């Protein structure tokens, strides 16, 4: 579904991504793990259209989307849950969800209900300003907001960041549920343990290069991965 070929991205004068190639098959959960500064976020940002790649190709459903602006990428069915959640703090929960459906002209009522079914907590708080939610609730809202664009592919940047372990568990359960309902997921995480348990396929990124790939559960047993990322 998503195919990245030899992607190179310069970021602030340095080459943050140095020739990454990876593939996200339809209906799968793929994870990209690696230490801070490995180039995970930059890779996602390049796909989302927030940064322009220096070279390489990004294809989505066979269409070359390299360097397209963010709003076009969203309209093609790729959405991103940004790092640190980035909900709109002054907007209500409901308005945040509506913002997620900004490009849609059809009826979004059913999808709001869908998101509320996934996250009943959001329904209770629909009139509250998003800035007043707890970290976990904000993450739910960020995911719900991303789903409102009816994506085929949802990219998630560090969904577990800064959340309590129990909340992280809940978020990952929801990720699997969303995936079961047909949304393909590309997930980047520093919490390698959780990510590898969840993902079908995993890639390991180190200083801008892919160093390993395989089935998520296999990587969990890999000695090198264990040593470097699972502690």
Partner 1 sequence: MGLFQIILPYLLAGVSVGGQYALMAIGYSMVYGILRLINFAHGDVFMVSGLIMVYMAQALPLYLSIPAVILLTVLLGFAVERAAYKPLRSAPRMSVMVSAIAVSYLLQNLALYITGGLNKNYPAIPWVSDSITVLGATTKRVTIITPFLMLALVAGLVVLIRHTKIGMAMRTVAKDFETSQLMGIKLDRVISFTFAIGSFLAATGSMLYFSNYPGVIPTAGGMPGLKAFVAAVFGGIGSIPGAVLGGLIIGVCESIIKGMDTVLVHLGLIRSPLELATFSDAFTFVLLIIILVFKPTGLFGEKTTDKV
Instruction: Please identify which residue in 42, 43, 139, 149 interacts with partner 1, judged by CB under 8 A.
Output: 149
Residue indicated by tokens 């940047």 = 157
Q: How far apart are CA 192 and CA 163, in angstroms?
A: 15
Question: Does the footprint of partner 1 cover residue 114 (CB under 8 A)?
Answer: no
Nearer to partner 1, 103 or 224 (CB): 103
∠ CA 149-159-189, nearest 5°, is 120
Residue indicated by tokens 């459903």 = 61
Q: Length of the chain in residues, anyone? A: 231
Residue indicated by tokens 């994506």 = 151
Residue indicated by tokens 């707890």 = 134
Nearer to partner 1, 83 or 222 (CB): 83
Instruction: Please identify which residue in 6, 25, 26, 134 interacts with partner 1, judged by CB under 8 A.
Output: 134
Instruction: Please identify which residue in 34, 39, 53, 82 interacts with partner 1, judged by CB under 8 A.
Output: 82
CA distances 174 to 12, 16, 106, 118, 140, Å, are 35, 31, 25, 7, 9
Nearer to partner 1, 18 or 145 (CB): 145
Q: Which of 66, 62, 2 is nearest to 32 (CA)?
A: 2
Question: Does the footprint of partner 1 cover residue 121 (CB under 8 A)?
Answer: no
Q: How far is the CB of 74 from partner 1 (least distance, A)?
A: 4
Q: How far apart are CA 7 and CA 159, in angstroms?
A: 24
Nearer to partner 1, 82 or 159 (CB): 82
Centroid of chain to Cα 115 = 17
Question: Does the footprint of partner 1 cover residue 224 (CB under 8 A)?
Answer: no
Binding mask 10-49 for partner 1 (x = CB under 8 A): --------------------------------------xx
Which residues here bind partner 1, judged by CB under 8 A?
Answer: 48-50, 69-71, 74-75, 79-80, 82, 86, 88-91, 95, 98-100, 102-103, 128-129, 131-134, 145, 149
């Amino acid at each position: 579904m998503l195919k990245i070929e030899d992607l190179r991205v310069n970021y602030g004068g340095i080459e943050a991504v140095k020739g990454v190639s990876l593939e996200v098959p339809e209906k799968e959960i793929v994870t990209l793990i690696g230490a801070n500064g490995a180039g995970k976020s930059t890779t996602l940002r390049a796909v989302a259209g927030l940064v322009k790649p220096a070279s390489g190709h990004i294809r989505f459903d066979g269409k070359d989307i390299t360097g397209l602006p963010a709003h076009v990428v969203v309209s093609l069915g790729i959405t991103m849950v940004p790092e640190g959640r980035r909900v709109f703090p002054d907007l209500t929960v409901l308005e945040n969800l509506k913002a997620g459906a900004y490009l849609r002209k059809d009826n979004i009522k059913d999808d709001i209900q869908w998101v509320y079914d996934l996250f009943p907590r959001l329904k209770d708080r629909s009139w509250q300003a998003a800035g007043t939610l707890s970290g976990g609730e904000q993450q739910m809202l960020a995911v719900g907001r991303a789903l409102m664009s009816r994506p085929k592919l949802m990219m998630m940047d560090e969904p577990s960041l800064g959340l309590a372990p129990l909340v992280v568990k809940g978020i990952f359960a929801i990720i699997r549920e969303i995936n079961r309902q047909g949304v393909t997921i590309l997930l980047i995480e520093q919490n390698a343990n959780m990510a590898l348990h969840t993902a079908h396929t995993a890639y390991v990124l180190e200083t801008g290069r892919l160093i390993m790939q395989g089935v998520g559960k296999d990587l969990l047993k890999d000695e090198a991965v264990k040593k470097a990322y699972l502690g």
